[in-house]
Structure formats: C-alpha cells, structure tokens
Amino acid sequence: VSTVLEITREKILAHVAKASYRPGKMKELARSMGVPQVEYRSFRRLVKEL
C-alpha cells in the first residue's frame, strides 16, 4: 500500500491549516506527515498541484 495514495489533498490541506503548522521546506512537510523517502517525489508532485 502506497503512503502517498493515503495522503490526499484534503489531508495535506488539513495539516497546513493547523494552528501549530509553520511554513517550511517541502521535505519538512513530508517528514512531518510521515511520507517515506521513496514516496517523496509523488508527494511533492501532489503538493505542487494544490
């Protein structure tokens, strides 16, 4: 099961909408959401589509 498939646009938006969220680098966002390194490119592509 792919982690990126489980991380939807809605989950990303909900994560960055949290009061505790602070803007940072894409890698930091992926790490804080538990995206494995091998899935990073797909995650990054999904975020850029937002």
**Over the stretch 6-29, which tens digit does the pLDDT of each residue have?**
777 888 889 889 988 888 899 999
Residue pair 12/47 in contact by the 8 Å Cβ criterion = yes
Who wins on pLDDT, 1 or 43?
43
Q: Give the pLDDT confidence score for residue 48 in this predicted structure.
A: 92
Query: How many angstroms separate the CA atoms of 6 and 22, rounded?
Result: 23
Share of the chain above pLDDT 90, in %: 28
Query: How many angstroms separate the CA atoms of 3 and 20, rounded?
Result: 23
Q: Which residue type, as a one-letter code, is found at position 49?
A: E
| 15 contacts: CB under 8 Å, gap ≥ 6 | 21, 29, 32, 33
Q: Give the pLDDT confidence score for residue 1 in this predicted structure.
A: 46
